A and B are shown apart, each in its own frame.
Chain A
Amino acid sequence: MASVPALKPTNTLVHQLGQTVVEMTVAVGDLALFGAQVVRLILTGLPRRGVMTQTFYEIGVRSIPVVGVTGLFIGMVLAIQAYDQFHFLHMETKLGAAINASLVRELGPTLAAVMLAGRVGSAMAAELGTMRVTEQIDALKALGANPIQYLVVPRFLACFLLIPLLTAIADAIGILGGWMIGSQVLGIDSFYWWLHSKEFIAIYDVQCGLTKSFFFGGAIALVSCYQGFHCGAGAEGVGQASTRSFVWSFIAILVLDFFLGVFQSGLYYVLWPDPISLF
């Protein structure tokens, strides 16, 4: 009698890895289609002003304290941490330039976006997830509304347009926080603090940081709304959607930060072939 060949185990590490890669590829594809649908709906018409105003208020105005506190502490911590190294090199007066440059180009946009992914993104995923499990999204459809247009478009626009503004607030408060510690606690002369800041920070640096914020805002909105719309059943599903929205947003922010950083650095050398050294 012919023997039946033994089945190969399908639960090996390689299979699991392959499955994860396939699932992630499908999810990224779904997310891209979701994003394309949002952009198409923005171009075809916006929801009513009342819906937009409410969303803009929730996402923009109510996030100001969080980004303000974030910016303030980033500036103050940078001043405390970097002072010793600058003091050792007798370059204390240039501490402000270093802090402000890192704030406007990198730390302000990235950390503000991470904070907002936690505050705004998770809340959006939980809210839309709850609407999904309680059939409110189906009810929108039944009442002749397009749920993506009604729920996602205002959130996307609010994040895309307001997160750069919130980042600017975080940057400004961070710069003030750094200066406050530098001049009031560490005794650095304010005149030189601002003079060197002005010398070494170009408008291009500010533009780079704020440009990143547009991308971060769009990514946070898309990832969070997508997670909310595709939430699993029950309270557990809503909790998982909220967690996933933060993790995915965080990863998206880091990945975008890297590629935008590479692009912006390359662009800088194209626009200004003779770079200015910070020190």
Chain B
Amino acid sequence: MSIDFSHFDLSAAAFGEPVIELRGVSRAFGTQTVLRDISLTVQRGETLAIIGESGCGKSVMLKIMMKMLEPSRGDVCWFGKSLKQRAELDIHRDRLKFGYLFQSAALFDSMTVLENVAFGLRQNTQMSDAQITQIVHDRLKDVGLPMTAASKKPAELSGGMKKRVGLARALALNPEIVLYDEPTTGLDPIMTDIINELILRTSERQPVTSIVVTHEMSTVRKVADRVVMLYPLSRLQPDEPQIVFDGTAAEAFSTSDPRVSQFVHGQARERLQELAAA
């Protein structure tokens, strides 16, 4: 079954318009502030990589973008409209334009692969079982999984297969925006490359906006048009912005800012010195 692109606005003007905006977003858990005054715009059609150390708030930011977490302060806009001024039903409808690949894949344990991938279709469309099964098979094929996997339970799958099923599930409703939360964490280099290739192919074949939270520089190199780096608040002065880099992938790898260059090149010298001094 062919993918329905009719709901995508493919005009030249549509590319580059903001699809997600964070305006002065902060988020705290109890007394611990994780995000502080973040402002960021994601343009339609781009692939944005969000990088940064563990615990700096990347996944929290992704969940705030998807409205799975509320910001403590600030505002989130989808397609130019503030979520604060929109009805719950309206937000629910627009949320279906998003696909989300979870860090752990978050497959439903009690369901088979087929039921997992079909879940969004069953929940939100009036399609017949035959149509849904056909779409599920198409999505599994897109992510390189055999049809025999459809009847398996998540517990029977390897880590890489789970990620691919998670991706198939995220793509089942033909989303306009796909959010990837550490899609390659815990995978071997070959599987990492396969997932990177799938992200790339999804962006190319299906004109989507992609936001990828990752630690993997190979992922950044391969898929990102733009890179944003978050820095942990514990290492910043109160008046310093938390986004310490916003540019292309090539710029990220050649920047002279030590905070960025040390991260992208995996150099821990300063941190090791700090540890030794402590």
Contacts and interface: CB of A to CB of B under 8 A. Distances in A.
B98 A135 contact: no
Q: Which of A130, A135, A136, A139 has the most CB of B within 10 A?
A: A139
B104 A135 contact: yes
A84 interface: no
A136 B119 CA distance: 12
B66 A142 contact: yes
Interface string B105-123: 0111100000000011011
B148 interface: no
A138 B120 CA distance: 13
Looking at chain B's contact residues, the main secondary structure is mixed
A144 interface: yes
B95 A142 contact: yes
Contact of B92 (A130, A135, A138, A144): A144
B68 interface: yes
A143 B92 CA distance: 10
Given A135-B102, A138-B63, A139-B102, A145 B123 contact: yes
A143 B108 CA distance: 12
Interface string A128-168: 00100011101101111100000000000000000000000
Given A138-B63, A138-B68, A144 B106 contact: no
Interface string B49-90: 000000000000001001010000000000000000000000
A130 B173 CA distance: 26
B44 interface: no
A144 B63 contact: no
A138 B104 CA distance: 12
B102 A143 contact: no
A143 to B, nearest CB: 4
A165 to B, nearest CB: 24
Given A134-B104, A135-B103, A135-B104, A142 B109 contact: no
Interface residues of A, number: 12
Interface string A18-49: 00000000000000000000000000000010
B106 A135 contact: yes
Given A143-B123, A143-B169, A138 B95 contact: no
A144 B108 contact: no
Contacts of A144: 92, 95-96, 120, 123-124, 173
B180 interface: no
Contacts of A138: 63, 68, 100, 102, 106
B109 A136 contact: yes
Interface of B: 63, 66, 68, 92, 95-96, 98-100, 102-104, 106-109, 119-120, 122-124, 169-170, 173
Given A134-B104, A138-B63, A144-B123, 17 more contacts: A134-B106, A135-B103, A135-B104, A136-B106, A138-B100, A138-B102, A138-B106, A139-B100, A141-B68, A141-B95, A142-B66, A142-B68, A142-B98, A143-B120, A144-B95, A145-B119, A145-B123
Interface of A: 48, 130, 134-136, 138-139, 141-145
